[in-house]
Structure 1
């Protein structure tokens, strides 16, 4: 439990929200720059990241992961398919459903844009204790959930 006085806590929360806002902005700009190198929009690039992390997903799964409306996801998948980054495939157990699969041969080039950043992040993490890193993970996981829910509300 936090034993700081109310003023210290209010200032810490204010600082955290300010830094989070800055972080959000630079994250969007970084991913926009990476996406631009491949002729993608940021949402297209992040959808490829989801497919990389979770494997083939249905459009419904993509809606749940992104918080985007079904029509937006359909357009997003159409664009990625046209650009050769994904393909639609029959679901192995339910022929009525379609899976969106990443075309690995066409996305391999994206990883090179993250190499320096990943190395720098690993070095930066060395500055924190394991408990501090666990707190950051808990905070980021919580804010990701809140932001996904906010996106869903905006697109409903």
Structure 2
């Protein structure tokens, strides 16, 4: 707490939590509107994002990353494949093994729709130095990891 009075520190933590909750709400709303423009459900967009960030995955691995039941993932992948977002690639040696691969030609649509947000973040960060940006990135990374641990604990 760096010798800050407990009450002042606690208020600061409450303010941070409130800001994180508001950020979560607004980013969820943004994702929802992007999804509506592309006829994607929120969970579809989440799976596309997971594939974009983590690379191609087996359906089981993707279900685990998304916190979804494998049967639910099958329906999502059927929709994403039908609409041209992903391809199921079969292993040539074991035809039962499948890898889900994003179709890169669809990424431009997402890039365009999130362009305003990217520009806004660039503007927000413009006056920050690399050390400040590293501090913010580190904080957000720690918050995301804590959220992941709590989600995993609740999912058991």
Q: Same fold (TM over 0.5)?
A: yes
Bigger relative contact order (CA 8 A; separation at least 6): 1
Q: CA deviation at 1:81?
A: 1.6
Q: CA deviation at 1:154?
A: 4.6
| TM-score, structure 1 normalization | 0.85
Q: Equivalent residue for 2:50?
A: 50
Aligned partners of 2:35 and 2:131: how far apart in 1? 33
Q: Which moved more, 1:25-34 or 1:109-118?
A: 109-118
Deviations 1:3-54 (A, max 9, x none): 2111111001110111111111001000000111000012211211222233
Q: CA deviation at 1:72?
A: 2.9
- Determine whether 1:60 maps to 2:60: yes
Aligned residues of 1:66 and 1:148 also touching (Cα < 8 A): no
| TM-score, structure 2 normalization | 0.85
Aligned partners of 2:88 and 2:151: how far apart in 1? 25
Q: Equivalent residue for 2:74?
A: 74
Aligned partners of 1:72 and 1:90: how far apart in 2? 20
Report 1:7-156 matches (<5 A).
7-91=7-91, 95-156=95-156
Unaligned runs of 5+ in 1: none
Q: CA deviation at 1:126?
A: 1.8
Do the aligned partners of residues 94 and 129 (structure 1) sit closer, same or farther apart at CA in structure 2, a change above 3 Å counting?
farther
SS in structure 1 opposite 2:114?
A: helix
Q: CA deviation at 1:93?
A: 6.8
Aligned residues of 1:68 and 1:155 also touching (Cα < 8 A): no
Report how many aligned residue pairs link the two structures.
Answer: 156
SS in structure 2 opposite 1:108?
A: helix
Q: CA deviation at 1:122?
A: 1.1
Aligned partners of 2:92 and 2:145: how far apart in 1? 30
